[in-house]
Amino acid sequence: MLMNLNKRPPISLFLAIKMTKIPLILLIFFSASQIFASDLVEVFGISRCPDTSKFVKNQLVPFYEKFSSNFSKDFKLDFHAVPTGGSNVDGHYVNRCLHGKTECDLNKLQMCAKKHVSGDWMKIIGCIQGLKSYNKALECLPEAEEGKIVKTCAESDEGEYLLNDENSYRFNVAPLSSWLPWIQVNGKREPYAEHHLKDVVCSLESMKNEEMCQKN
């Protein structure tokens, strides 16, 4: 699904004041990843997009569920739910999303789960992905304390900030990401991964010698 590119940097509320700091942070990040030769596969998507849903449900989550315990410690797989922009409304930052408010609500729930659920956040993201209603999505959260923290996050400024930060991140790291799901390997687009995630992961330096990547 096609989505607008950000024409100018969104306001980053957590990294407030100076956007000029971001390139520096990224520079440090990228040079660190060079030194440790680690690999990062990251996915940008939106919760109500059929193409993102297909990828998340057929590739990303099953792959993660089956193999995350076999990942090399130098390999990381990440998911970013992104808005299209946002603005200040009555003193509060409010994100805008391609498919409207419900999509923003689901995106926030996904990013709050990533932040607050230590174990199985990818599974929760997969459960929320593609749903039509926020109440249905709440059923994806773990019971007890962790689930409550995620819900509170998604319904407060914390969730708006998190989603906005994902937008800033997208602008800086994936400025050409007009097609979603947009999959990057170490900062470069890899469209082949949309249908061949495991092949792409297993071609990486950090993963190719792992047992899960050996052909029998």
Least distance from ligand NAG to the Cβ atom of residue 67, Å: 7
Residue of 176, 211, 215, 216 interacting with ligand NAG (CB under 6 A): 211
**Residue 9 preceded by cis peptide, ω within 30:** no
Nearer to ligand NAG, 4 or 69 (CB): 69
Contact 126, 155 (CB under 8 A): no
Q: Which is nearer to ligand NAG, 70 or 152 (CB)?
A: 70
* 145 lies in the binding site for ligand NAG (CB under 6 A): no
Q: Could you say which residues in the range 51-90 bind ligand NAG, by CB under 6 A?
A: 69-70
Q: How many residues in the shown chain lie near ligand NAG by CB under 6 A? A: 4
Burial category of 124 from C-beta neighbours within 10 Å (exposed 0-12, middle 13-18, buried 19 and up): buried
To the nearest whole angstrom, how small is the minimum distance from the Cβ of residue 70 to ligand NAG? 4
Q: How far apart are the first and last CA of the chain?
A: 36
Asked if 119 and 106 touch (Cβ cutoff 8 Å), the reply is: no
User: Within a 10 A sphere around the Cβ of 181, how many other Cβ atoms?
Assistant: 23
Distance of CA 78 to the CA centre of its chain: 6
Q: How far is the CB of 213 from ligand NAG (least distance, A)?
A: 8
Shortest CB 211 distance to ligand NAG, Å: 4
Residues that bind ligand NAG (CB under 6 A): 69-70, 211-212
